[in-house]
Structure 1
Amino acid sequence: MKRILFGMIAILLIAFLAACTSDEDANEDEDEGEGVTQVETAEVTEDDFVIDRSVYGHTSPTSTAPVMVQEPGEIDTLEVENGDQVEEDERIASITTPAGNQDITASTAGEITNLEVSEGDIVSTEDPLAVVADLDSMIVTFNVTADVQKLFSTEDTLDVVIDDNEYEAEITAIDKMPDDTGLYPVEATVDNDDGDILAGMVGEMQVPENRIEEAIIVPTEAVTHADDEAFIYVIDGETANQITVTIQESQSDETAIEGEIQAGDEVVVDGQLTLSDGSPVNVVEGE
């Protein structure tokens, strides 16, 4: 009987010790994970940092030539319609006038636009019969302030976005005198081989306004501000070190900084708000 009793006590004691060991292991695991922050990082780069100024303009044909009649009369035949391509001296229409029949020809090559008459209509010498426009290339005209006008130079090549498409534009004219609104017209020429650019469309151009050469660049979201100071967190093994930095220039996506940091360092871009200097971290990949 005593043997059975001792056996039962031994079994209970072993079970109790096993339970205590499991609790200790669980607590150790919990302690090890406590205080470790999951963060996302990005690599520091070194490059020229350019601040761009956005300017907006409208498109127009490179050249337009009105088609005029010499004598008023009635349109006898009409050889073209809007959108047709014509060559120089190609016949557009013939009209009957008091002085006899008259052929109307194109003074230049291009595309027929603004044709609003039909055969049998009476035309006068006051309004053009149509307009021949050169749409193979388009002009984008930007009206800018004097300060922005100084950012342009003729023959500069800049990107312009028109109808969500990006084109290469060459600055071809910079007016030195303001227009009636007090702004200075700047013209850029864009190839329109596909004919996708129509007159009157809005073009957005990014003009370099300021440049910092060989700047240390980090994602703007990596920079944290507190007590009138800016700092970032740099990954060192499994910890994040807080580095105070000076901001040189900043844009929505990137910021140029100075500080004890170099290209190739990994900086925290998500999770840094709960960090302090030397905090343990676990680097995870973002979505």
Structure 2
Amino acid sequence: MKKLMIIAGILLIGLLTACTEEDQSNEEEQERVAPVEIAEATEGDLVVESSLFGRTAPNSMTPIMLQNPGEIDVLEVEDGDMVEEDDLIATILTPAGKQNVYAAKDGKIVNLEAEEGAMVSNSDPLAMIADMDTMKLQFNVTADMLSHIEKGDTFTAIINGTEYEAEVSKVGQMPNDTGLYAVEASVDNEEGDIVTGVVAQMNVPVSRVENTILVPTAAIVDESDETFVYIVTDDQAVKTTVTIKETQSEQTAIEGDIAEGDQIVVNGQLLLSDGTKVDIIEESGE
């Protein structure tokens, strides 16, 4: 009889201990607070852009031609010099006498390889004058992309990290050997910051989602075929299922039980589950 009472007492103590530990675990779970960063949901239009990549080139290239072949007596410029219209470029000794060669327009001297004393022909240019005040951006695009571009359109171009306004000056109507279409745009380069042959990126809008709820793309969580965000309500994370309408890098257009001004978690989602207490440590834009 005593043994039974002892065994019963041990079981009771074990049960009470287990209940106490479970209560403590639940209490600790309820008291856990996750640090998060948030941003507000907004309402507006989302413009989806596609980026084209090409190269810069002078707006025009004007050849410097000689009337007669001969020997360079005096060369007034070097490759890379800037000249103005009617500047003296060179004096050539020809069978017909001395010939002065002048710049036909403003620009930069390029492709000048001859030196004083060298014999030069009148069949090939002595050099070229490149118009660098305006630069061409040259792209090759697909037929689908061509449908979004018209001559005279203006788009944002990025060259060496700087944004420029680019105006489309040429839209090819026939594909080249690769099946792509040539597109050219021009940007102002009066400051001379753009050089020839560098990569240019031009962003072309291809679609627009109007009057939609926008959230930072960083807030979107994809898990087990479910897409959701966490809304902060009364210092708690509320898991909210959403449907993505369109995404453009930093912003995503969504549908769901979300309104303009709702606080959306953009950092710290991995620590959350529905109902987790949160501590807002930073709000995006502050």
Q: Which amino acid aligns with 2:196?
A: A
Deviation at 1:286, TM superposition (A): 6.9
2:260 aligned residue (260, 263, 275): 263
Instruction: Give the secondary-structure state (helix, strand or coil) at the position aligned to 1:95.
Output: strand
TM (norm. structure 1) is 0.83
Question: Quick check: 1:134 aligned with 2:128?
Answer: no
Question: Quick check: 1:79 aligned with 2:76?
Answer: yes
| Equivalences for residues 185-196 of structure 1 within 5 A | 185-196=182-193
Instruction: Give the secondary-structure state (helix, strand or coil) at the position aligned to 1:81.
Output: coil
Instruction: Give the secondary-structure state (helix, strand or coil) at the position aligned to 2:59.
Output: strand
State the match for 1:125 in structure 2: 122
Q: Which amino acid aligns with 1:218?
A: V
Deviations 1:171-207 (A, max 9, x none): 1111111223321111111100111111111101111
State the match for 1:62 in structure 2: 59
User: For the Cα contact (< 8 Å) 2:73–2:116, is it kept in 1?
Assistant: yes
Deviation at 1:43, TM superposition (A): 0.9
Deviation at 1:146, TM superposition (A): 0.8
Q: Which moved more, 1:35-44 or 1:181-190?
A: 35-44
Partners of 1:227 and 1:34 in 2: how far apart? 27
State the match for 2:147 in structure 1: 150
State the match for 2:94 in structure 1: 97
Deviations 1:223-264 (A, max 9, x none): 222332211111111222221111111244221100111111
Structure 1 portions without partners, runs of 5+: 1-26
1:42–1:286 Cα change, 3 Å: closer
1:169 aligned residue (160, 166, 169): 166
State the match for 2:230 in structure 1: 233
Instruction: Give the secondary-structure state (helix, strand or coil) at the position aligned to 1:263.
Output: coil
Q: Which moved more, 1:277-286 or 1:195-204?
A: 277-286
Partners of 1:132 and 1:276 in 2: how far apart? 66
Deviation at 1:157, TM superposition (A): 1.5
Q: Which amino acid aligns with 2:201?
A: E
State the match for 2:207 in structure 1: 210
Percent identity for Structure 1 against Structure 2? 52
Q: Which moved more, 1:87-96 or 1:157-166?
A: 87-96
Deviation at 1:33, TM superposition (A): 6.7
Structure 2 portions without partners, runs of 5+: 1-23
TM (norm. structure 2) is 0.84
1:115–1:45 Cα change, 3 Å: same
Partners of 2:209 and 2:108 in 1: how far apart? 46
State the match for 1:223 in structure 2: 220
Partners of 2:108 and 2:86 in 1: how far apart? 13
Q: How many residues are paired up?
A: 260
Instruction: Give the secondary-structure state (helix, strand or coil) at the position aligned to 2:282.
Output: coil
Partners of 1:85 and 1:41 in 2: how far apart? 53
State the match for 2:179 in structure 1: 182
Aligned CA RMSD, in angstroms, stands at: 2.2
Q: Which has the larger radius of gyration?
A: 1
1:38–1:149 Cα change, 3 Å: same
TM superposition outliers: structure 1 runs of 4+ over 4 Å: 30-33
Deviation at 1:82, TM superposition (A): 2.6
